[in-house]
Amino acid sequence: MASPDEKVAFVSNLNGTTLTEVSLGSFLAPLCFLSRGLFLIVFHLGKGVLPFSWAAHLLLDFTALIMPLVLSCTALSDILHFVIMGIAAVDFAVLYLVYKNRKQGSLSSTIDRFVQGRVESNQVPFVTVFRVLVNVKTAISILAVDFSVFPRRYAKTETYGTGVMDFGVGAYVMANALVCPEARGKDVQGSKISHVLKQFISVWPLVLLGFVRLASVKSSGYHEHVTEYGVHWNFFFTLAIVRVVASALLALFPVNSSWILALLIGGTYQVILETTGLKSFLIHNNERAGFLQENKEGIFSVVGYIAIYMAGVQAGHYLMQSRTLVRDWIRVIRNLLLTSFGLFFALYVCQRCIEPVSRRMANLSFCVWTVAQATFFLTCISFADLVLLFSKVVSNFSLVSASWYPYQNKKSDNMRNNMDALCLVQSVNRNQLLYFLLANIMTGLTNVFVDTLNSSDVLGVSVLLLYMFVNSLVIFILHINKITIKFW
């Protein structure tokens, strides 16, 4: 069994990968999501009977959504572009098959009717899928990084660079911001002070989990990458503080000015990094004496994560507005794409004129990159959902969960509820924090019983698939029994 020091060295002093490779990965999960939906449509067109048994639905979703993500960041990482092109080709062929089986109408008339059509507006399904996929990718990465089959370029960078896991932490913060009460337009009950106090109290589970993780790591001798967050700090503490500070800011300023606050916070923080000794303090591994020095990375990076959160609130506020026409959502997808391109250009300027991306400091470049990449990922998912909606319309079969439903009468509500009750995406969405916690616990247990560092590639992939299946099974069983673990 490898020692804790060997495991720390295995995940230390890394430089990440290219922006292009991280962006390339944004295509895979949406294509897998589309594949799963197209499979159900084709099965229905072939006179198949839905829904399946719960075990069959779990196996389908795991095979279509989880397994490709595990393989793409391990055994197939070096041919990721071929994997994406292969899945895209299959999806296109199936989409063409669905279109050819339509009842009537030319392509142009079909598209015109589709664009002028309506969708149910009580939810934004691609936001849900985005949040779930970020959670799933995070669960995969936190264990996969301990295996040699996981490319070192995907792991978190030491000081500067763009690793896949670097984007993961920022995306997790933004995913939470997209659906916060302020973004969803929920009215604040009572005074603003009482609202902030309520949010302060509501984060106690995150604080508790932070202390539980701290105690378990220290007592078990589990390996710690100190320059990630510090000696005592962890991501749970960051999430709690970001939520409370953001609530206070949103109580003082209107939600539609969140992007201005994000820019001001990120920009001011970068000015401080450049004009004071803070950057040198954060980068250099000097002797750690006292709480501030011991946890400097975790404490000061909170500022950058607050900026990311505020940008996420702005995005959520825009996406959560009520829209029923398909053409309106096409406009939204176009705007998301243009925004991501604009942010990537801003990132280019930041990296050329200021400094490269640094997750360790959560500097301005990191904030811009995270929001740009998350917006691009959202665009890919929303486009996949749009294509799936088109497939639903032309096939006259809409019972594919976690995606847009064409506006229709309520005759199929029972069938739809049955399908939603057997959907892995909906399962993770029901208990997102529990899923994240379960993944952390399973990661720790796996490292206790498996010599991850010295495992073969075959064993590493097998353990990862088993680990993800157990996580999926637990969360799926809770969902089909309508159990929501939320005690705050």
Instruction: Taking residues 10-16, report their average pLDDT.
Output: 86
Coil/strand/helix, residue 467: helix
Instruction: Taking residues 410-434, report their average pLDDT.
Output: 85
Count the domains in the chain.
1
Q: Residue 414 pLDDT > 80, yes or no?
A: no
433 occurs within a structural domain: yes
331 occurs within a structural domain: yes
pLDDT of residue 237: 95
- Please provide residue 434's backbone torsions phi and psi, each rounded to the nearest 5 degrees: -65, -40
For residue 386, what pLDDT band results from cuts at 50, 70 and 90?
A: very high
pLDDT over 70, % of the chain: 96
101 occurs within a structural domain: yes
For residue 412, what pLDDT band results from cuts at 50, 70 and 90?
A: low
Distance CA 48, CA 63 (A): 19
488 occurs within a structural domain: no
Distance CA 176, CA 192 (A): 21
17 occurs within a structural domain: yes
CA distances from 24 to 29, 77, 94, 252, 350 (A): 10, 11, 22, 39, 21
pLDDT of residue 384: 97
The answer to whether the Cα torsion of 24, 25, 28, 30 is positive or negative is negative
Coil/strand/helix, residue 16: strand
pLDDT of residue 47: 84
Instruction: Tell me the residue range of the domain where 46 lies.
Output: 4-480
450 occurs within a structural domain: yes
pLDDT in tens, 290-306: 889 999 999 999 999 99
- 358 and 14 in contact (C-beta within 8 Å)? no
Instruction: Taking residues 246-267, report their average pLDDT.
Output: 94
For residue 485, what pLDDT band results from cuts at 50, 70 and 90?
A: confident
List all residues 6 or more positions away from 270 whose beta carbon is below 8 Å from its beta carbon.
354, 363, 364
From 46-50, 286-290, 381-385, the region with the lowest mean pLDDT: 286-290
Cα-trace Rg, the chain? 23
Coil/strand/helix, residue 453: helix
Task: Dump the DSSP string for 246-293.
Answer: HHHHHHHS-GGGHHHHHHHHHHHHHHHHHHSSHHHHHHS-----SHHH
Distance CA 389, CA 106 (A): 18
- 354 and 407 in contact (C-beta within 8 Å)? no
41 closest CA partner among 415, 400, 385: 400
pLDDT over 90, % of the chain: 71
Full-model pTM: 0.95
487 occurs within a structural domain: no
pLDDT in tens, 88-120: 999 999 999 998 887 767 778 888 889 998 998
486 occurs within a structural domain: no
pLDDT in tens, 121-139: 678 999 999 999 999 999 9
**Mean pLDDT across the chain, nearest whole number?**
91
For residue 7, what pLDDT band results from cuts at 50, 70 and 90?
A: confident
